[in-house]
Structure 1
Amino acid sequence: MRQTFRLPILGLVCLAAPGVAQAGNYEFLAAPQTDLNRVFRLDRASGEVGACQYGLKENAAVGVTLCYPPGEGAKAGPFSEYALIASRHTGEGGVFRVDLRSGLMSICFVLNESSVVCTPPAK
């Protein structure tokens, strides 16, 4: 009988732990551009967007991971429920960030190989 009460109590403890509530909060999506190996990362709660891609390293068999931090418009915003959507345009290097609660959309892309930027949200 003691074991039957342990599982629900353990579940409640896990739900109350702050680290558990934050787990799995990211979404990843590859840019639709077919000759670009870039993947965008979204914090689904804050809307913050970053990106990484593979880069060649001179005189080395293994390359490097190049990451671009969130820049203008791509930093954390109001807490909501965000998602990333790729267009079907094979030449598009950016992705759409959508706020599933308000319907606002932005287009996010890497600017000047330095940071991810997003357009102002619009409906």
Structure 2
Amino acid sequence: MKILVVDDSRVMRQIVIRTLRQSGHAGHDIVEAENGRMAFDMITAEAPDLVLSDWNMPEMTGIDLLGALRGAGIGVPFGFVTSEGSPAMREQAEAAGASFLVAKPFTAETFDEVLTPLLGAAR
């Protein structure tokens, strides 16, 4: 499976990738994008199986990316990994079609809980 990690911080992308591996999801092809606009182009070209995106980014935010994907009829499973996890943000993410929202700081166990239902036996 291909997983796209989207965050404007290179360090945070690396932390997300490391946590994916620590949570037992190491066997996947992981690609990266530094903003929503780049991610949209990569998703339409490479068709990843899952997108893990930050919320606040330049160029195009994560919630705008999700809206653009759903508006284009692209139903790729999409989750947020972001520094804010307010109830309002969670509601907005769910209403937009996100599978989950994981707030930073996160653990390998948190990743495993949200990813196992989506990735299943593909670990």
The normalised TM-score by structure 2 is: 0.24
More strand by share: 1
More helix by share: 2
**Greater C-alpha Rg:** 1
The normalised TM-score by structure 1 is: 0.24
